[in-house]
Structure 1
């Protein structure tokens, strides 16, 4: 066996000779989660094999994270990614083998040779855009694209390291909070709303990577990761030194709001339009002595950065506390496009009759993008960039449509005070529409950089200074306006059938959460509690509020906590395995939690137990909804899934509706359940309905 390049005692002590059938020849790198070896298959093919550290192989939770990484990497295939050849997440020492990619990382290349020439930057941009297209098409969001995760091969750049499988190592324990990533290459929403990070975050990271390639530094630079975080959220990027013909496109990639960034397909189209700047020649960065294989080759898998490396190009993954940033934000933004045209009758092969009373339907719309829908005023209310529209819930026919000037595509329309509240526009307005015609009944300003939530017949607007203004949904008049005691920038949630709105604020160290129940009509505080842990309300049951509890290191949901204000009693039910970026709902005291990576878990708080856990196979899914019989989820490819609420078994799913362009939404709208029917939308623009009583025939 060739001598290893890293001779650290810990690495030497745990060095195996084989991973499966692959002989490990030399060490390419070592990092917090494992070591990466150069290996050969029986036929002689060179591979890069990541082997998990022995101490983490004993941790069931970490094994689950590694399985997620393997699953995500296997779903991605293309000319600009390193393909998975084999893996065994269940081995005594879990491992994953990918094709070995000769060539330095982008971080190493820039560190040794300085910034790339403009032509190289253009080809890098084209290759990475194509890589992200392939990644996003299968519903994967990389979330940690950075120079050390980009390999410069002769045939183009390769993106590596999917899933962010993270060990609970000592370095990360020194920080608190819920955000993990590499600060100079993280998008604003990764700091502001980490549970709703979508493909657009990878586009922001791409912009930062390209600035680094062109200048040797990032668009946001500071020795402090917390300062970088502030700059990413608030400051304009420094594009000094970026090629002039690429600067406008890179600036769009670095837009603060996800919907303002181009998609990978748009990037490739615009690159082709840059005359004399885009070509399809083989990608061969200028080879200098430092790029040739030597005694210390760059790691071929991004997690395996060499220990002790402190240079800025690769950056470090850091955990942040949201309280230090104090940022109040609006709801997650979906990557949607404007539909144009009337409702179109479904094709004969699309619907399926499931009962005499209801026939499944599908109303396709031109273009791509997922409408965001809700149910109210006896109709299905949907929004996408440029308009709000109402559909007949029985057959999908268009009832009315209202243009919303400069709409950004975010948010879901809702009935508030008997009127249809449209999502906010780019110029900062919200409109209340007549539910019968779609005509505007009232309009008023919404606070910039603030929060918006509805509770009963009241609209709650939270300004950047923390002032909350309650608006009568029926008239548009102000009911009250003041700050909520104990909250700097409160974020409200409310639940159907519950007259209260709940504001939450975690402590800076994530050890406690202040939860305040507010009467939305009067503004009075009904109760106020300081509860242990970092908590987020997911629903109520009788007089008990159910909250998802997150661990203080990674921000993953590890328990469901119930708080009963009448008695002050709390109850906590731990999960068998932590759920990454979980979204939740509650039905009759049972909490259903859906995690990034596809795990759906049911917890009965009253019984004090986890009922079941199902691996759905989705890398990413919508928030769950339930009618008591089934739990429903939307998939990135447009499928609607139904899971039996009692057994946790898959009960049915609809065909995929991805669309020709393969657009993947930044945030998946949750299905809508009403009167035994389930309504959902798809990336191809379709809104469709299915009978919730019999998912087996979908």
Structure 2
């Protein structure tokens, strides 16, 4: 058999033909640390053999961690794990052989066939609870339970990959300042106190895995891992689509504090009390038939589900001390729309014959959820959970509205001359006529993990790391390939900039690769490898500005400007780090608003911080600027304006609280500046407009 090629991380030219005396037959998968092969023992027994990448085989610390993985896997070998057959951590290329378990991963199963049925979900949860009981009994914490680490075998789920697990008697410990795990499935304590992670973190991960199995998404969902980390620590989970009889258990698993979560034994007792009995069919869910190609991944939300979700979200408002200082805002909840309806009579107020005057439009959906808005095609385009609508910028009249599936809300974009609703990460895209709100095209696409609007195109980052360009005007595919140097990039784009930027960090956060891509062709305009863990905040005059983030809480420690024409990087250190900032760029100045309310202005030409102020806002939106003011919205629905010259407060609107002021939105709406007017939205569901020139009159 010819040696096999490795296309994964840490690629070598050739892979070995044997691991020990096991012949490697085919590649089952490749990850960041090694390649898993299908192999056979001398007796013909099928095995899964993990062979470490050569670059890590030379690392003494990694060999120690691999020994720990082998020890942990051997300890927990049982009915719900893949038993270790043989291993050699001291080989030139360390390897470990486990029994081969036929069946897909939970991740692949959900991608291919959508959400599981309630019966299958109960079986999955019971199997995972029993697996965690056995894992924890031998003193091991998995720390990376996620859909790709769950195999769906005929006799129940199997937990695999103990690469970052931690036996209690191990000498290896989490390094100070380093987070280990997969953000959408990590527990709050893994971000806040990584050295104190215990068995309850696996229970939190189990809850996240169950939401994924039930809905096709996580309870905390964003393109950005940094946003996900914030949501895990601060926000309430989104359980839309989770079966009624399992939702209370999953809520308990997702408690913010470890002591509030159930043990595996308690979970199994609760599951036995669930009224519906388990069926006796094979565990692996049935495949979609060819006669149902359009079957939805997630069933439509029922009215009682919406009511239940509202009750569950009201039970907890677990926030950090900073957020507790001002617990205001509105929770995102699903909105039921009965399809497209004619636009109602305008309910905007404040229009005068003299022209523009401030106005406010009540919630279009009738629900107190925060609209997310943008401007395009001469209209204010907004989205609430379940609906996209257009308002007249002059007086706030509702021009049209269109019902959309999903609850993940972002501002609509105008790309290719059409309105592109920001939908859930699903298998379809839709574009609307900006004049009427009627669909112009709809297209099914492969599963993707990221969506970005840039130029006249939509950029989809597929789950395998490849990027596809889609024509915003027609929905036709334009191009598809991997961006060189990026395994799974996320993209950033900025108003007025025709390029899109692929961003990837190195595993140790020592460097960030930035690649400028032409959205319509996929061609690379330039590529740079920059020092540090960088987050882009904006562009100006062909340069890209970033914040450099610390390794633990990802607070901004400095601001970086990279000029591709000269390949020069300018780095300005912040006198005081800014906590988890959102930023914007105007000319030579970068404005950063941090959690806790600190707002700073950094002059990149002068290479110094121009001013800093404390706004008193616990959490704010991404700031936006004109030549005179910096604007942002707050949790309580206020719109604030600060003088761009010195940071002094110039004006603010009254609060517009929603019906549940003890809950906060996952994403605060960014203000929109157009023609001397500024548009904002609030937790009570309203959209309002004021003059950007006279904040003192708000």
Give the TM-score, by structure 1 length. 0.57
For residue 363 of structure 1, the aligned residue among 351, 361, 369 is 361
Residues 216 and 368 of structure 1: CA distance in aligned 2, closer, same or farther (over 3 Å): closer
* Alignment map for 1:172-211 (pairs within 5 Å): 173=176, 175=178, 180-181=191-192, 184=201, 185=204, 189=220, 193-195=225-227, 197-198=230-231, 202-204=235-237, 207-208=252-253
Residue of structure 2 in register with 1:588 after alignment: 587
User: Match of 1:400, SS?
Assistant: strand
Q: Counterparts of 2:453 and 2:646 in 1: how far apart (Å)? A: 34
Does 2:686 match 1:694? no
| Structure 2: runs of 5 or more not aligned | 1-172, 184-189, 209-217, 238-249, 277-296, 322-329, 338-342
Shift of 1:361: 0.4
Residue of structure 2 in register with 1:118 after alignment: none
Residue of structure 2 in register with 1:579 after alignment: 578
Q: Counterparts of 1:656 and 1:522 in 2: how far apart (Å)? A: 45
Residue of structure 2 in register with 1:398 after alignment: 398
Q: Counterparts of 1:246 and 1:592 in 2: how far apart (Å)? A: 52
Q: Counterparts of 1:190 and 1:268 in 2: how far apart (Å)? A: 18
Residue of structure 1 in register with 2:374 after alignment: 374
Residue of structure 2 in register with 1:230 after alignment: none
Shift of 1:583: 0.9
Residue of structure 1 in register with 2:433 after alignment: 434
* Alignment map for 1:280-679 (pairs within 5 Å): 335-338=332-335, 342=344, 344-346=346-348, 356-365=354-363, 366-404=366-404, 406-425=405-424, 427-662=426-661, 663-679=663-679
Residues 651 and 172 of structure 1: CA distance in aligned 2, closer, same or farther (over 3 Å): farther
Q: Counterparts of 1:352 and 1:452 in 2: how far apart (Å)? A: 37
User: Match of 1:528, SS?
Assistant: strand
Residues 619 and 239 of structure 1: CA distance in aligned 2, closer, same or farther (over 3 Å): same
Does 2:275 match 1:217? no
Q: Counterparts of 1:647 and 1:263 in 2: how far apart (Å)? A: 49
Q: Counterparts of 1:434 and 1:387 in 2: how far apart (Å)? A: 15
User: Match of 2:227, SS?
Assistant: helix
Residues 639 and 247 of structure 1: CA distance in aligned 2, closer, same or farther (over 3 Å): farther
Shift of 1:458: 0.9
User: Match of 2:268, SS?
Assistant: coil
Deviations 1:72-112 (A, max 9, x none): xxxxxxxxxxxxxxxxxxxxxxxxxxxxxxxxxxxxxxxxx
* Alignment map for 1:120-131 (pairs within 5 Å): none
Shift of 1:517: 0.6
Residues 199 and 336 of structure 1: CA distance in aligned 2, closer, same or farther (over 3 Å): farther
Name the structure, 1 or 2, with higher relative contact order (CA <8 Å, separation 6+).
1
Q: How many residues align?
A: 441
Q: Counterparts of 2:561 and 2:447 in 1: how far apart (Å)? A: 34
Residues 334 and 380 of structure 1: CA distance in aligned 2, closer, same or farther (over 3 Å): farther
- The answer to whether the 8 Å contact 2:253/2:261 transfers is no
User: Match of 1:173, SS?
Assistant: coil
Q: Counterparts of 2:310 and 2:551 in 1: how far apart (Å)? A: 40
Shift of 1:352: 9.4
Deviations 1:224-271 (A, max 9, x none): xxxxxxxxxxxxxx94233667899xxxxxxx99x9999999568479
User: Match of 1:203, SS?
Assistant: coil
| Structure 1: runs of 5 or more not aligned | 1-169, 220-237, 249-255, 273-277, 279-301, 304-332
Shift of 1:666: 1.3
- The answer to whether the 8 Å contact 2:630/2:642 transfers is yes
- The answer to whether the 8 Å contact 1:198/1:665 transfers is no
Shift of 1:554: 2.6
- The answer to whether the 8 Å contact 1:214/1:241 transfers is no
Residues 581 and 244 of structure 1: CA distance in aligned 2, closer, same or farther (over 3 Å): farther
Shift of 1:343: 5.7
Residues 410 and 216 of structure 1: CA distance in aligned 2, closer, same or farther (over 3 Å): closer
Residue of structure 2 in register with 1:135 after alignment: none
Shift of 1:490: 1.1
Q: Counterparts of 1:174 and 1:387 in 2: how far apart (Å)? A: 42
User: Match of 1:679, SS?
Assistant: strand
Residues 409 and 181 of structure 1: CA distance in aligned 2, closer, same or farther (over 3 Å): same
- The answer to whether the 8 Å contact 2:451/2:459 transfers is yes
User: Match of 1:241, SS?
Assistant: helix
User: Match of 2:696, SS?
Assistant: helix
- The answer to whether the 8 Å contact 2:344/2:398 transfers is yes
Residues 239 and 216 of structure 1: CA distance in aligned 2, closer, same or farther (over 3 Å): closer
Q: Counterparts of 2:621 and 2:310 in 1: how far apart (Å)? A: 28
- The answer to whether the 8 Å contact 1:361/1:688 transfers is yes
- The answer to whether the 8 Å contact 1:680/1:689 transfers is yes
Shift of 1:175: 2.1
- The answer to whether the 8 Å contact 1:678/1:692 transfers is yes
Residues 499 and 368 of structure 1: CA distance in aligned 2, closer, same or farther (over 3 Å): same
User: Match of 1:450, SS?
Assistant: strand
User: Match of 1:424, SS?
Assistant: coil
Deviations 1:567-592 (A, max 9, x none): 11110011111112111111112111
Shift of 1:500: 1.1
- The answer to whether the 8 Å contact 1:492/1:503 transfers is yes
Shift of 1:199: 8.1
- The answer to whether the 8 Å contact 1:361/1:689 transfers is yes
Shift of 1:180: 1.9
Deviations 1:607-661 (A, max 9, x none): 1111111211111111111112111111111110111111101111001111233
Moved more, 199-208 or 360-369: 199-208
Residues 634 and 212 of structure 1: CA distance in aligned 2, closer, same or farther (over 3 Å): closer
- The answer to whether the 8 Å contact 2:677/2:691 transfers is yes
Q: Counterparts of 2:264 and 2:270 in 1: how far apart (Å)? A: 11
Q: Counterparts of 1:247 and 1:207 in 2: how far apart (Å)? A: 19
Residues 362 and 246 of structure 1: CA distance in aligned 2, closer, same or farther (over 3 Å): farther
